[in-house]
Amino acid sequence: MLGNLKPQAPDKILALMGEFRADTRQGKIDLGVGVYKDPNGLTPVMRAVKAAEKQIWESQDSKSYTALVGEAEYRDAMADLVLGGTDKARLASAASVGGTGAIRNALELIRMGNPDAVIHVSDPTWPNHISILEFMGMRYETYPYFDNDTRGVDFEAMKAALSRVKAGDVVLLHGCCHNPTGANPLADQWAEIADMLEKTGAIPLIDLAYQGFGDGLDADAEPTRMIAQRLPEVLIAASCSKNFGIYRERAGILIALTESEKSRDLTQGALAFLNRQTFSFPPDHGARIVSTILRDEALRADWKAELEEVRRTMLGLRDQLAGELRDLTGSDRFDFLSRHRGMFSRLGASPEQVAKMKEEAAIYMVGDSRLNIAGLNRESVPVLARAIVEAGV
């Protein structure tokens, strides 16, 4: 049986990580893997996380199973963080194995509720969205999103495509810090997106993986909150990997807003069923770190302060890179880097130009020219800028 398995294509980002590790050149730069790195190239454990883990270690008296959908304290704290003051009377939720687990269970929930639903995803999107959809055999279509000339959102094309989505279909949206492009709709454009979803009867599935990495915790959640207030059914897959820096703890949550209390109860039961079928009980350590921080006033304040430092560091690197490129080229054509938000930007380089930067300057980025801004520091920014110009981008 096992000998009949078909070879699977390796994940491109993981393959790139392997190439980077094998490269013996001094000064090599990794802009591929999607994790935050401090100026020393480390992904640090946040101060509040260490303090929360100490509290847990000192007070926890059991390692028995958690609740099937995760502890209520975690789910309530995450609902508050994501939705703010949005009415939660119609809310169902379940802890998940990271944000990816939340996406997977959201798609399973959609398939249970409407097997004929088409999932509409942005072009481009996070590659794992497509990979999961294809593995599950779910129907999907792409809608235009990124303008390769302006390096911004092609909103007119996006709007035209979303206006044709059918009732009952699902539109997958990036709540903030679009991956892989870094380009995001403006506030008035988000309102138009909500208008179109209302008119068409499509259901939004919002992937909120980077809350706090763009314009701030509340600002980054504002589009999600607006859509949640306006539409009868909304699915939100949120991750704690980035904003709490607990990537390996796999803490996420799937939130579902429903039309009625009856629908809420049905949905909550379905979420419990999906957890049971997929992994039985969700992991607890990362979720408990998050709830400990969010319930403790001092820890929450320190976490928010450190998260703000992370956000401002990335904005500073964006501005520095845009400035270096402006000086080298005498042009403002790379100023989009300052306007993008989150860890990623799509540079607009060809695969050949990306390969040239890897071969000649030991700079590693994904073949579509997605670069991780957080992989830079003040010393490596000028190196990247020169490589971009020498590659002819």
* Burial group, residue 25, by CB count within 10 angstroms (0-12, 13-18, 19+): exposed
User: Which of the following is catalytic: 207, 238, 256, 387?
Assistant: 207
Is residue 207 among the annotated active site residues? Answer: yes
Other beta carbons within 10 angstroms of residue 37's beta carbon come to 20
List alpha helices for the chain, DSSP H. 12-22, 47-59, 72-83, 98-113, 127-136, 155-162, 187-200, 217-230, 261-278, 285-295, 297-329, 336-339, 351-361, 380-390
Sign of torsion, CA 275 276 279 284? positive
**CA–CA separation, 170 vs 108, rounded Å?**
13
In which residue are the tokens 């009415």 written? 87
* Residue 194 is a catalytic residue: no
Identity of residue 294: L
Structure tokens at 324: 């270096």
**Catalytic annotation present for 242:** yes
45: three-class secondary structure by DSSP: coil
Q: Which of 187, 185, 182 is nearest to 157 (CA)?
A: 185
Q: Compute CA distances 375 → 31, 49, 197, whole Å.
A: 5, 22, 36
* Catalytic choice (106, 209, 238, 387): 209
Question: Can 126 be counted among the known catalytic residues?
Answer: yes
Catalytic residues: 126, 207, 209, 242
